[in-house]
Amino acid sequence: MLAVTGAEALYADMGHFGRRAITRGWLFLVLPACVLSYMGQGALILDDPDNISSPFFLLVPDWGRWPMVLLATAATVIASQAVITGAYSVASQAAQLGYLPRLRIAHTSESTIGQIYVPWINWLLMVSVLTLVFAFRSSAELAYAFGMAVTGTITITTLLFLYVARAKWGTPTWLIAIGGGLLLCVDLLFVAANMTKLVHGAWLPLLIGLTAFTVMTTWQRGRELVTEQRARAEGSLTEFVDDLRSGEAVARQVPGTAVFLNRGKETAPLAMRANVEHNHVRHEQVVILSIKTEPVPRMPVEQRIVVDDLGYTDDGIVHVTARFGYMETPDVPGTLALLDPAETEGPLQLDQASYFLSKIELRRGKAPTMAPWRKRLFIATSYITADAAEYFSLPRDRTVIMGSQIEV
């Protein structure tokens, strides 16, 4: 499953001609080769049922068996790299879309943006592989798990295809019901056949999928709860700016540029509010920056930035929305460098700007917002969150972190 996802991520990174070449390769090379291989193995088993033990290798003549073993070993190495790439890609995209906490992502290539390394996922894969090796001890024991993973992936892919066909392409419902029904009948027959081997290993991919689904939905739900409580604590950004303008919020203006990272422009950043209410200061130029992840691989540069003066063109406070695709890593200083001084009420002093982050400490509360075990899971998952300054490429020596507590 992860290998397929990794291939899809690489496919999305390619240009138009690259995708066409890959598609033709799959259609005219991979598909015929797979069909011939599977039909040949089936014919071999029908000729002699004893060949069912290893039809792939027994299909090869005796003189070519060792070269085939070496070729299969090389293919296994390549497949393992695809699994690792797929795991990195899935984790990165899930974090961008809000289904996982921010993970530390290291880019290992200056020319290929999709070539990444995620340390936490790498260690998780190592522990998982070692657990499988010691638990099942042979590839034959994993056959039923592999069958369930493949048939489950095929079924999920069919459902997603039918959804896209209806929601995006506008395919008539009757056509989807007939065509999708036939496809799903075949897929579900394979799934049902594998369910008979549930206790023999088919439970493994179901357990992995259920665990990943539970973690992701728990994180998404907990994130919604934290966002609601933060919104109440932060208050309206428009009213806060109005208070600064009218003088109700007393704050001495100091020279320099301050960049406050925030979730949107509806609420005031906690760090900015604390700076005004407790330190009674505000910077001459204030940029409230919101990072928004769009459901596309990459955003064009000309559509990346949206600037809002928040109702006043002479107070030095602007809100900037920076939009990124789910396959991109946000670079805050690089994004701010794209701003036009005319839109920010003067040039920003980015080489000396101070960056402010609001750090939230989560605590388990008594409110019945989630089941107690899901609260523990959400808080435990939050500990793997990558450092925000590193994630957003902020300069360490000019980043200020201000904390607060929230109960879930």
Q: How many CB atoms lie under 10 A from the CB of residue 192?
A: 10
Q: 152 CB contacts (<8 Å, ≥6 apart)?
A: 1, 191, 205, 206, 209
How many percent of the chain have pLDDT more than 70?
92
pLDDT, mean of residues 293-310: 82
Task: Select the more confidently predicted residue: 139 or 351.
Answer: 351
Query: Among the residues of 196-320, which ranges form H helices?
Result: 203-234, 237-246, 270-278
Q: Is the pLDDT of residue 10 over 50?
A: no
pLDDT tens digits, one per residue of 167-207: 888 889 999 999 889 999 999 999 998 888 888 888 888 99
pLDDT tens digits, one per residue of 330-352: 888 888 888 888 887 777 888 88
| Domain range annotation of the chain | 1-136, 235-407
For all residues of the chain together, what is the average pLDDT? 83
**What's this model's pTM, rounded to 2 decimal places?**
0.73
Binned at pLDDT 50, 70 and 90, residue 114 comes out as low
What is the per-residue pLDDT for 3? 43
pLDDT, mean of residues 322-331: 81
Q: Is the pLDDT of residue 136 over 90?
A: no
Q: Is 357 helix (H, G, I), strand (E, B) or coil?
A: strand
Strands 305-308 and 281-294: unpaired
Tokens in use for 188?
A: 């579900």
Task: Select the more confidently predicted residue: 249 or 196.
Answer: 196
Check the CA dihedral 339-345-347-353 and report its sign: negative
